[in-house]
């Protein structure tokens, strides 16, 4: 059971990012719960897991005392910070070789964003987790503005316009490897992930649109990555 918690209570955000801190009474983990566009958060997280992209696990569940299902994005690491705050307030770390390496390792997010048509691409949506050994691990968050795929085949694939720190640190080998994983995801796998969305979050028509869109876009990413010069 997820409950609002006094142990992590950040202020509310605006628009589609609005939500609140919650805690799982069984595991103790905290997460950020959102009601708006919850199906997109869940679907993006599940698709990311399918192709090896770091996106925090999203649970779809109720929050005690609040009506309706929420997408609950579980915290990324014991300690984390978004890349924008790191750039502005911890510039020494941001410019370190360790963070640059972590950004390069995260290059697979670019073909993934192209696949799911993420529109809100900024450094604030890259979360850096750090451990005692100065190892950094970067995850993508906030997919509220994604997966708006037009029928019948998901529409044209456009190159991601960000996040800026990813684009200036592209590792072509990682882009290629991620693209290969996306291209080898089967229709059945895509259908299964989409169908797993609760009916309260996405009806049959929406699920069909999403499934057809993801299948259709899967084969259009390579050309875009090549044109961007992001492939070996």
97 binds another protein (CB under 8 A): no
User: Min. distance of Cβ 100 from another protein in angstroms?
Assistant: 15
Look at strands 58-63 and 136-140 and give their pairing.
unpaired
Separation between Cα atoms, residue 25 and residue 213, nearest integer Å: 37
User: Min. distance of Cβ 14 from another protein in angstroms?
Assistant: 6
Contact indicator for 33, 1 with CB cutoff of 8 Å: no
130 binds another protein (CB under 8 A): yes
93 binds another protein (CB under 8 A): yes
26 binds another protein (CB under 8 A): no
DSSP state of 16: G
91 binds another protein (CB under 8 A): no
User: Min. distance of Cβ 158 from another protein in angstroms?
Assistant: 26
Residues numbered 30 to 49 that lie near another protein (CB under 8 A) are 30, 32
Candidate list 50, 62, 77, 191; residue touching another protein; CB under 8 A: 77
142 binds another protein (CB under 8 A): no
DSSP state of 197: S
Select from 55, 230, 229, 61 the least CA-distant residue to 147: 55
User: Min. distance of Cβ 135 from another protein in angstroms?
Assistant: 10
Kindly give, in sequence order, each residue whose CB lies less than 8 Å from that of residue 38, ignoring residues fewer than 6 positions away. Answer: 60, 69, 70, 71, 201
180 binds another protein (CB under 8 A): no
Give the torsion sign (CA, 175, 180, 181, 186). Answer: positive
Candidate list 49, 57, 66, 81; residue touching another protein; CB under 8 A: 81
User: Min. distance of Cβ 140 from another protein in angstroms?
Assistant: 15
82 binds another protein (CB under 8 A): yes
- Could you tell me which residues are beta bridge partners of residue 7? none
Residues numbered 184 to 213 that lie near another protein (CB under 8 A) are none
Separation between Cα atoms, residue 41 and residue 29, nearest integer Å: 18
The three-class DSSP label of residue 61 is strand
The three-class DSSP label of residue 222 is helix
227 binds another protein (CB under 8 A): no
Contact positions vs another protein (CB under 8 A): 5-14, 17, 23, 28-30, 32, 75, 77-82, 84-86, 88-90, 93, 124, 127-128, 130-132, 134
């Amino acid at each position: 059971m997820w409950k609002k918690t006094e142990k992590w209570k950040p202020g509310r955000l605006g628009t589609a990012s609005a939500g609140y801190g919650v805690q799982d009474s069984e595991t103790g983990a905290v997460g950020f719960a959102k009601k708006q566009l919850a199906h997109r958060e869940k679907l993006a997280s599940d698709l990311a897991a399918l192709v090896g992209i770091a996106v925090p696990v999203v649970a779809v569940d109720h929050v005690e005392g609040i009506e309706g299902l929420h997408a609950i994005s579980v915290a990324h690491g014991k300690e984390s910070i978004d890349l924008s705050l790191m750039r502005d307030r911890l510039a020494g770390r941001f410019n370190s070789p360790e963070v640059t390496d972590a950004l390069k390792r995260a290059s697979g997010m670019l073909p993934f964003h192209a696949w799911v048509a993420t529109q809100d691409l900024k450094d604030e949506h890259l979360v850096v987790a750090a451990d005692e050994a100065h190892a950094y691990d970067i995850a993508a968050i906030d997919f509220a503005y994604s997966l708006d795929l037009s029928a019948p085949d998901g529409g044209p694939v456009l190159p991601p316009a960000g996040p800026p720190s990813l684009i200036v640190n592209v590792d072509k080998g990682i882009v290629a490897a991620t693209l290969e994983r996306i291209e080898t995801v089967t229709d059945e796998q895509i259908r299964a992930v989409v169908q797993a969305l609760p009916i309260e979050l996405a009806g049959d028509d929406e699920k069909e649109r999403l499934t057809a869109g993801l299948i259709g876009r899967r084969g259009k990413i390579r050309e875009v990555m090549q044109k961007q010069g992001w492939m070996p």
